[in-house]
Amino acid sequence: MPLDIVQIPVLNDNYVYLAHDPATGATGVVDPAVHEPVLAELRKRGWTLTHILNTHHHPDHVGGNLALKEATGCQIVGPQADADRIPGIDVALKDGETWRLGKEEARIFDVPGHTKGHIAFWFANSNALFCGDTLFSLGCGRLFEGTPSQMWASLSKLGALPDDTRVYCAHEYTESNARFAVTVEPDNAVLTARYAAIRAARAKGEPTVPSLLGEEKATNPFLRPMSANLRATLGLADADDVAVFAETRRRKDSFRG
């Protein structure tokens, strides 16, 4: 049975996720920025928190760790490469390992770039990817601690997953990401249509997350350094993929549209 996944909007634009295994009752929370909304949703559904899944150390991803652990006795799992910055961590995970939430198995990917120690959880049976701030809907995380080559390698790992994978990223950034994306790949008709659908959804207050990985491969410029349209816009027709990615990220960092 696939995981039951519940999206909890918190703070200004964060998404926290509950992942519940109906076969065993095991319940994880992914990147809890705060604890109160998580506890409220657990009470509403009659679920018992058993695990916290942290992708990286930033406060808006681990801020609820200790309060939730104190309230529930849950186990905290997170990246081995950044274990010293994950509050209350019990289990440290690294690339290529598997980890189980109840009967549901996740494959762990090291995906540094946004931070030095960032992981993603892929639950293949549930077509669910919890990727923190590495991959966004139509975007990717800023390179606070990593290099363009590291981030492109990380995104390439995630981009190799099946197209029907649902991308549960940690922020509602899609509309602003789309405004940038159409400036660097203006002749991408699929992107243009997606941008219109995103504007309509956000005008009604609807979330744009999760997205499908296949959609991201077709429209997200940070997964598309091989695009001739993108390369032409950037003036990098003959550059390697890392250079194209790096210039795309540089332009996004200064974009004010």
Band of the pLDDT at 254, cuts 50, 70, 90?
very high
Angle between helices 36-45 and 65-72 (to 10 degrees): 40
Tens of pLDDT, residues 199-218: 999 999 999 999 999 999 99
Tens of pLDDT, residues 124-165: 999 999 999 999 999 999 999 999 999 999 999 999 999 999
Tens of pLDDT, residues 3-34: 999 999 999 999 999 999 999 999 999 999 99
Tens of pLDDT, residues 30-43: 999 999 999 999 99
Residue 8 pairs with which residues in a beta bridge? 16
Give the full edge-to-edge strand order of the sheet including 27-30. 4-10, 14-20, 27-30, 51-53, 75-79, 91-93
The candidate with the shortest Cα–Cα distance to 179, out of 64, 256, 76, is 256
| Interatomic CA distance for residues 29 and 57, integer angstroms | 15
Tens of pLDDT, residues 68-103: 999 999 999 999 999 999 999 999 999 999 999 999
Whole-number pLDDT of residue 246: 98
pLDDT over threshold 90, residue 257: no
In the chain, the percentage of residues whose pLDDT exceeds 70 is 100
Whole-number pLDDT of residue 82: 95
Catalytic residue numbers, as ranges: 56, 58, 60-61, 114, 133, 171
Band of the pLDDT at 52, cuts 50, 70, 90?
very high
The candidate with the shortest Cα–Cα distance to 225, out of 212, 239, 213, is 239
User: pTM (2 decimals)?
Assistant: 0.97
